[in-house]
Every structure is written in structure tokens, then in C-alpha cells.
A and B are shown apart, each in its own frame.
Chain A
């Protein structure tokens, strides 16, 4: 009996021999033909793509990662590199408020130009123009803040980054004011008639304010909610602002 099994094993493939140890002869034959001898070999294993959701999600994720990586070439500067290059340093001599006064006047002219007649009427029209305006050189005052020590800070904006304003105060100090949870007030004096004030990035509330002393002219005063304003000035140009429910109000 042993000899017969050995002689048959020489004729049979090794796979059949192994299978016959575990299965009965019919099963062995079926498995051998279906799964081993007639096994389909795909030339391109992943096409057509598998239909289950998990694999599909995985593919999406991979694609997104690769595209993000491509977008970052050339890589942005890391914080260390930025500090070493000193791109945003302002030297002591440059921190003078008096240096930025002319910039402020330029900015006032620029805003008056943008607003045109809206400076007298205020409201939605002025708001939409102001959102796309650039704020470098504006004199901002912190009027309301979740962090109470910031209230009362006033100065000229020298850097408008995504989350903060960097500001030079009248006392020649450079202050970094986060935009989160803070409301800034900006005044634009003009020569003429009573003005209206506007709140941006929010459903509007109008406030009337008029100051008629000899030195001062009537002003347009508007308040900016920093919470809704957390975009770089370049990105803000084409952004459409919608009213959002605000946690702080």
C-alpha cells in the first residue's frame, strides 16, 4: 500500500498530495482545478477599482496627501527659519510712532478713495468694500475683548497676519494683538457731514456719531470683529463674508 501511494505521488503534483491529506478525493480534485490550476491571474490587479467604500476612502486620502505635498513645494519657511532670516523684525529705531504717521495718512486717503460716497451713508455697501480693504497703516483701538487687559490698546497696524495685528502704540511700543475674541474700532475722519458707523462680518447695527470741535472733523467709525476677520490680508480680498453666529456676543 505504501508503494502504491508513493508511485501515485510521483504522478500527482505536490499540491494534490498535500490537499489529499486534508480533504476527501472529490474535494481535493475540485480545489485543485478551481483554485490552483485554473486560477485567474490578473494582469492589472487594481483595475477595475474595488467597489468597497473603505478602499475608496483610502485612495482619496492618499491622493489628497500627495497633492498637498505638491502644493507645499517649495516648502514654506518653518518658524525657526523665519526667525533666523529676521523677515519680520522691526529694529528699535524703526519702532517710532512718528515714523508711521505718514503711512496712516496715506491709508486714510486710500480708504476715502475706496469708500467714495459710501463714507457718508455707511451700511452694507461700505461694509463690503471695507472687508476687501487692506489694513496696514490703520489706527485701531481695541474696544472689547475676552481678555480684558487688551482693552484700550491703540496704535497703527504695521503687520496684518492671519490671526494677529501687530501694532505700534503712541508710546513707541510694538504690541501683538490677537484677533480672537476681540473687537477693534477704526475711525476715519473726513471733512463734511454726519456719518454712520458700521460693523463688519456681522449682521449690521448702525451707530450715529458726530464730533464737531474745531480740531476734529466728523468721523466715520466702524468696528471690526476680529473673530470673523482671521484671514491674511491677501486672502481677504476675494472672500465673501457671511454673518455667522458668534460665541462671544
Chain B
């Protein structure tokens, strides 16, 4: 019919900076509920993880990573009906601990995600009306009545989600009638046991192991790696803002492999006026990158190990980026930096996209 383009207000991503103290790490009871651990574990699906460390600590980090490699993830083509029936349902969904993400851009296509036992479907109006499942409007006030999009959440691990029960039968009906096209899924098994025979083998998955790509011995100019003393308290807000902006800029340039941070870089000031802040210290740094379908619980464990096992005076920076949400393609990110010589402190940048 006549389609008017839906008006949308683009809001840029916002960055929240936290400068705090990590608290004592008890190896028997790793912390889960306090910041920064809860923010790291609270993200949904992580696409990239980047770690920047001084070169001297790279051996220690290598040992940590050998112990805790990233769980491998797989990509296959399945329909929603395949997930809800058969061995896959009983082994992986009901008993196992997995996370899955379907293809599609959120806000444009129909996207399905499965995490912590809850299947979330982000649907457009036609798919929602054809599915017949109860859901809530998506977006601020359901986009105020213009072609609303809908979110349907179903808890698949509950005891009422069993073939034969009404709620589950409605889900099966929807998967046969409204969602019967097969889509590509990313799948990650978070538990270490694999059921035998593997129900996933029917769909010929492509397996990927997330190996880090390592860049070593980068000769770099280092900025001041410790927040200024007067950054604490309400009077120090400006100081904190300057410090955190400059440090984040430097970390981003390292992540981008920019030549501007390297020793001996001479670029025409007409082209670029960037200078590394601080007093011109030099050092060697090492950068590791993981890209794939990663679990926030794994990220949290790596972070814990890093904090516990790296020498307490050395600094490091750890950042996780999620899959993009929404039409503008912005993703949200958490970067954590432990300052040099201050083992209990951290600076955290949370970048949240609008949708």
C-alpha cells in the first residue's frame, strides 16, 4: 500500500565514564554484582574484544589465555521450527546453556535471539499479527502508533513449554506458519559438555574458533597512565573529563593501529594535529583482538583473571563491543582501563547507542 517513510529521530551514542575502585578479589568467590563486573556480564552478544597491554606482560597474558580460551561458535542455517523440536530442543535449549542470534538487522528485519533461556523475537507488524503470540510494543511508546514493531519474549526453559501444552503449541503454530523460512544463526555453547550424538550436526554447522590476532612490539608514545589526583570529587569533574577523553582517544588510536601514536611519527601538522598527551614517555605495547560470537560470561572471567594475575603495577585496557542494534548500526561498547601503579582502581567508558 502507500508507504510513508517512518520518521525517526537519530540520536548519537552516549558515553558514560566511571572512575572507581574495584574492591578486593576473592579467588573463591569471584564478584558478580558490583561494577564493573556486572556491566561487563550484562551485555548481550559480544562481537569484538580488544586487549592492550604493555609488552612485558604479554607472557603472563598468554598463559591466562591458554587456560581460558574463548568457546568456539558455529554458524548454521535453521528454521525456528527446528530449534523448537526434536533433540535440539531437549538437549540444548532445555538442558544446556547456549546463546543464539539470528541474522537480520534489528529494526528492519525479524530477528530472533536466545539467551539465558529466553527466546526474544523482534518482529514487524505483519509478522506479529500472523504469529498470534502476545508481545509488547518495541521502541519508545511503541513508535507512537506508526507501524509499530513488537517484541515477543518466551521463556523456553519453563515447565509449561512442553509439546502438548497450549502455549507451546501456539509457538509451534507460529513457527510453522509465520516463520517457516530458514535463517542463518550464530550459535555458542557455553557449557563444556556436548551431547552425543550432536543434534547440531544435522544442520551442517560451520565452526569457528575465536583466536586472538596479536600485534606485538608496537613502539608507542605513552600518555599519562594515571588519572590526576584531583580528579576525584565534584570539583575534579573537568580534570576527569579531560583525562578520560585524552586517554580514550589514545586507546582508540592504538586499536585502530594508527601510526600517530608510534615513536618517530612525523606528520605534517596541516594534515593532523594530534599529539600524544603527557610527557613523551615511550614504551612497547601489545594488542590482542578477538572477533566473533563471544559470550559476556567469558569476557568477565578473562577480566577477573587479568586483574588477579597481572603484576599489580602494570596497566592494561580491555574493551568489548556488542553486535549492532537498530537501523543506524551503532553498537554499544565497554572499555575498562586499569591505571599504572594503582591496582585497585579502574576507569570505565560505557558507550550506549540509542536503540
CA distance A148 to B123 in the complex (A): 13
Give the shortest distance, in Å, between B277 (CB) and chain A (any CB): 57
Whether B1 lies near A245 (C-beta < 8 A) is: yes
| CB nearest to B152 among chain A residues | A148
User: Using a CB-CB cutoff of 8 Å, which residues 210-227 of chain A contact chain B?
Assistant: none
CA distance A249 to B125 in the complex (A): 8
**What residues of chain A lie closer than 8 Å to B173, measured between beta carbons?**
151-152
CA distance A246 to B128 in the complex (A): 17
Query: Is residue B134 within 8 Å, beta carbon to beta carbon, of the partner chain?
Result: yes
Query: Is residue A93 within 8 Å, beta carbon to beta carbon, of the partner chain?
Result: no
Query: Is residue A6 within 8 Å, beta carbon to beta carbon, of the partner chain?
Result: no
Query: Is residue B2 within 8 Å, beta carbon to beta carbon, of the partner chain?
Result: yes
Q: Considering only CB atoms and an 8 Å cut-off, how many residues of chain B contact the other chain?
A: 15
Whether A151 lies near B1 (C-beta < 8 A) is: no
CA distance A196 to B157 in the complex (A): 41
CA distance A149 to B166 in the complex (A): 12
Partner-binding segment picked from A41-49, A50-58, A138-146, A231-239: A138-146
**What residues of chain B lie closer than 8 Å to A246, measured between beta carbons?**
1
Query: Is residue B12 within 8 Å, beta carbon to beta carbon, of the partner chain?
Result: no
CA distance A245 to B3 in the complex (A): 11
CA distance A145 to B126 in the complex (A): 9
Give the shortest distance, in Å, between B81 (CB) and chain A (any CB): 15
Give the shortest distance, in Å, between A67 (CB) and chain B (any CB): 38
Q: Considering only CB atoms and an 8 Å cut-off, how many residues of chain A contact the other chain?
A: 13
| CB nearest to B135 among chain A residues | A148
Q: Give the residue of B1, B170, B174, B177 whose beta carbon is less than 8 angstroms from that of A249.
A: B1
Whether B177 lies near A148 (C-beta < 8 A) is: no
Whether A146 lies near B1 (C-beta < 8 A) is: no
CA distance A150 to B173 in the complex (A): 13
Query: Is residue B130 within 8 Å, beta carbon to beta carbon, of the partner chain?
Result: yes
CA distance A246 to B125 in the complex (A): 14
CA distance A230 to B126 in the complex (A): 21
Give the shortest distance, in Å, between A227 (CB) and chain B (any CB): 12
| CB nearest to A146 among chain B residues | B129
Q: Which residues of B contact A (CB under 8 A)?
A: 1-2, 126, 128-135, 170, 173-174, 177
Q: List 16 A-B contacts (CB under 8 A).
A: A144-B126, A144-B129, A144-B130, A145-B129, A145-B132, A148-B129, A148-B131, A148-B132, A149-B132, A149-B134, A150-B132, A151-B132, A151-B174, A152-B173, A248-B129, A249-B1
